[in-house]
Amino acid sequence: MTATFALIVDTFREAMARKIFWGLFGLSLLMVLFFLFIMKIDVVEGATATITLFGQTAGGEHRDMAVDKLVKQVHSSISTFLYSFGMFLAVFASAGLIPSVLEPGRIEVMLSKPISRAHLLMGRFIGNVLVVSCNIVLLVGGVWLIFGWKTGVWSPGFLVAIPSTIFVFSVLLTVVVLAGVLWESTAVSTMIPVVMMILSPILAQEETARKLLSSEWSRQLWLFLYVALPKVYDVGKMTLDITLGQGAGSWWPIWSSGAFGILVYGAAQWIFEKRDF
Amino acid sequence: MTAELAIETTDLRKVFRSRWSGKEVCAVENISLRVNRGTTFGLLGPNGAGKTTFVKMLLSACIPTAGTARVYGRDTKDPEARRPIGYLPENHRFPTYFTGAGMLDFYAALSGVDAAKRRKLIPELFERVGLDPKWMDVRVGKYSKGMLQRVGLAQALIHSPSLLVLDEPSDGVDPVGRRQIRDVLHALEAQGVTIFLNSHLLQEVELFCRDVAIVNKGRVVLEGTVNDLTAGKGYKLVAMNGSGPKEWNLGSREEANGKIDDLRREGFSIESLVPTTSRLEDVFIEAVQGKK
């Protein structure tokens, strides 16, 4: 337990020293403060008269409904941001944290300690996930609290964005770990998951592709890639649907992405166990 | 029986294979070595002899192609086998975001030392390795090479190891610092800590180690105590007559006694008879070149 905690704290320490943590934290905080101050509420005789968000006023006899809609729209915008720019930023910022620990002269000292390689890798992985999780919790939780407090609309569906974003980031991080133990390169460790993120919405158009592709093998290849690779787009869409109160639909993107993550992490650990340093 | 040995390797072998061309290089070739508990052991060899690969296999940083390595009777593949080991690598790169104290705290935690003990030990270790405790809260990125070497040694000592594996411990340290490090190591030796020194500084090994092994091209070419290896294989005889002192180098005790009898009969007076000794450097060069 002491060693696991030390590995997690070390990841945080390195993330802070590399300004990764502070960069993500600053961005999340900026967004929270943005919503805190951008949303103006006018109170007349103890009742909410108007709510101004991004210059739009929700009011009149349908005020409650309009506010509810507006809040859900903001929540879905945040979810979309998390699954696009936010995820890219998280992968980009934290990809270096895995290869750095494998640097010659550093890894030997860690391996000389009475901890297994699996323990070392897992400690680093958890630390990395927690660095990003803190910022996701701050952003989603902060926005949810601000909107709930200012509008009285507490939409719990939005909070699903916390576990779902952390989950997708963890799956992409397994790719970072595998690339890290194979090539010890931050650039490669960043590129591969980013390519997967870019491919995800394209591969998700599987039905359209089936109609457009002429050969059977290309259709099968498309299907294989769609099934095998993490479904960032699909999980994002699922989160968005839950945020908008439309239900989760199929859980297939979750468990297939999870299986991908477990498989890739297992491969990374197997390679790490066999490597010479 | 095996636990009497701090280190025991049996036919330890390491072959590096190129990922692309498939070319093979044998870095360590069937080394069987025994290091007694409580001794000071020096591993010597020219550059590229396989010393560091051998040490890395002891620590499981490098996976042996064949053979076994045991520390106090435990196979080094078992993480618990590394609990009694303190290790200072040659080209260490401690993360520069650590302060000196933070770095020791981290490595001690990895070794399972509890927080209260760590807080007590860290300032003590700073003083023990000759570092001013005012440097404890300074980032190691600001440390000089010698200071890094000292804090690295403190890192290796933080969990009170019973086997210390040091790769060029006085590299980059000034003569005063070397003396201090040697004093620390002597104190540990007195406490019964086994010290395994991997160094190319022959004088350092000769001054400090009781046992040595010389490695060349992945094989042990000579092994024994420093005293035995540097002991003379002959005698130097000085005798005088009317024309002044004369010297003879004699190969054995019998030969020396015979020569003394002859000289006395011829009217010489014996001035001195001294066993000849050789320096470790001579032994090293002879061992390495002799196996070429």
Span A141-176, pLDDT tens digits: 999 998 888 777 888 889 999 999 999 999 999 999
Contact between A105 and B98 using a beta-carbon 8 Å cutoff: no
- Read off the tokens for B242: 């009317």
Range list of H helices, chain B: 51-58, 100-110, 115-128, 145-157, 175-190, 202-208, 226-230, 253-265, 280-290
Distance CA A193, CA A70 (A): 33
Contact between B82 and A109 using a beta-carbon 8 Å cutoff: no
Contact between A3 and B112 using a beta-carbon 8 Å cutoff: yes
CB A268 within 8 A of CB A178: yes
Instruction: Write b or e for each residue in B258-278: b if 16 or more Cβ atoms lie within 10 A of its Cβ, otherwise e.
Output: ebbeebeeeebeeeebeeeee
Which residue range is the domain that position A92 belongs to?
A: 2-274
Q: Which of A25-29, B30-34, B59-63 has the lowest mean pLDDT?
A: A25-29
- Position B271: which residue type? E
Task: Enumerate residues 6+ apart whose C-beta is below 8 A from A145.
Answer: none
- Read off the tokens for B180: 């201090």
The pLDDT mean for chain B works out to 90
Mean pLDDT over residues A212-240, rounded? 92
From chain B, pick out residues whose CB is under 8 angstroms from the CB of A108: 56, 59, 61, 87, 89, 92
CB A86 within 8 A of CB A30: no
> CA nearest A276 in B: which residue?
B62
The pLDDT mean for chain A works out to 87
User: What was the pLDDT predicted at A62?
Assistant: 47
Mean pLDDT over residues B180-206, rounded? 90
> CA nearest B80 in A: which residue?
A114
How much is the ipTM here? 0.84
Mean pLDDT over residues A173-188, rounded? 93
Per-residue pLDDT band for A246 (boundaries 50, 70, 90) equals confident
Is B266 within 8 Å of chain A by CB? no
In the DSSP assignment, the letter for residue A39 is -
Which residues are paired to B16 by β-bridges? Answer: B25
Other residues' Cβ atoms within 10 Å of the Cβ of residue A143: 23
- Read off the tokens for A83: 């699954």
In the DSSP assignment, the letter for residue A233 is H
Is A12 within 8 Å of chain B by CB? no
Q: Which of A223-227, B61-65, B276-280 has the lowest mean pLDDT?
A: B276-280
Using alpha carbons only, how large is chain B's radius of gyration in Å?
Answer: 24
Overall domain count for chain A: 1
Distance CA B51, CA B64 (A): 14
Nearest-by-Cβ selection for A109 from B16, B79, B87? B87
Span A259-273, pLDDT tens digits: 999 999 999 999 999
The CA–CA distances, whole Å, from B158 to B10, B61, B101, B227 equal 30, 20, 11, 32
CB A61 within 8 A of CB A141: no
From chain B residues 163-222, the ones with a CB under 8 A of any chain A CB are 165
Q: Which of A88, A89, A78 is nearest to A20 (CA)?
A: A89
Q: Is the pLDDT of residue B174 over 60?
A: yes
Pairing, β B163-167 against β B194-198: parallel
Is B85 within 8 Å of chain A by CB? yes
Span B50-100, pLDDT tens digits: 999 999 999 999 999 999 999 999 999 999 999 999 999 988 999 999 999
User: What was the pLDDT predicted at A48?
Assistant: 56
Is A9 within 8 Å of chain B by CB? yes
Nearest-by-Cβ selection for B61 from A3, A6, A108? A108
Task: Give the gap in angstroms from C-alpha B228 to the nearest C-alpha of chain A.
Answer: 33
CB B129 within 8 A of CB B180: yes
From chain A residues 88-127, the ones with a CB under 8 A of any chain B CB are 100, 103-116, 119
Q: Which of B286, B153, B277, B262 is nearest to B214 (CA)?
A: B286
> CA nearest A118 in B: which residue?
B79
3-class SS letters over B41-85: EEEECCCCCCHHHHHHHHCCCCCCCEEEEEECCEECCCHHHHCCE
Contact pairs from chain A to chain B, CB under 8 Å: 89
A interface test, pick of B54, B110, B164, B166 with most A CB neighbours within 10 Å? B110
Other residues' Cβ atoms within 10 Å of the Cβ of residue A239: 27
